[in-house]
Amino acid sequence: MQKTDEKARTRVWRDEAGVTLLETLVALGLFAISVATMGDFVVQQVRKSATNNHYSVAYSIAEEQLESARALRYADITAESGEIQNGAMTFRYNTDVVDNSPAPNLKKITVHVDWDEPAGAKNVALETVYTAVRRF
């Protein structure tokens, strides 16, 4: 009885002796497809991350320019433009000032920030209204 069980086990092991070449090629093909898909996904995510970082920097520059304008006296607020270098990226800003808008004794201040990326030109804009308030 013991010999019969041993023969059955030997036969089972002999049938499952190893992985065939075809199984290995199929597994490698599936692995290559998944790696290629993930590689493209990772590249897209890195690009999106860089773009989001550039948007954050641009909004920060626009906010700084608005605060610089608001720190001035009402009569001294004028249009301004310039460039700011952040790493390898150059951001251009332009501050527009419209007098008596949207009402008398008010100034509408708009800051535009733009930059060039490999995917194309990007820009952001912030605006505020400033009033002629007497400071004591």
Say which CATH number the domain at 83 has: 3.30.1300.30
**Within-domain flag for 136:** no
Indicate the average pLDDT of the chain. 87
User: Is residue 63 one of the residues assigned to a domain?
Assistant: yes
Count of the separate structural domains present in the chain: 1
- Largest alpha-carbon pair distance within the chain? 109
d(CA 13, CA 5): 12
Kindly report, residue by residue over 42-52, the tens digit of the pLDDT. 888 988 999 99
* CA gap 31, 44 in Å, rounded: 20
> Would residue 117 count as lying in a domain?
yes
Tell me: pLDDT of 39 over 70: yes
Q: What phi, psi does 78 have (nearest 5°)?
A: -135, 170
Residue 35 lies in a domain: yes
Structural domain includes residue 53: yes
- Give the pLDDT confidence score for residue 10 in this predicted structure: 57
Nearest C-alpha neighbor of 112 from the set 69, 59, 54, 52:
59
* Domain limits for position 124: 2-131
Residue 20 maps to a domain: yes
Least confident of 10-14, 23-27, 124-128: 10-14
Report the C-alpha gap between 107 and 110 in whole angstroms.
10
Burial of 115 (0-12, 13-18, 19+ CB in 10 A): buried
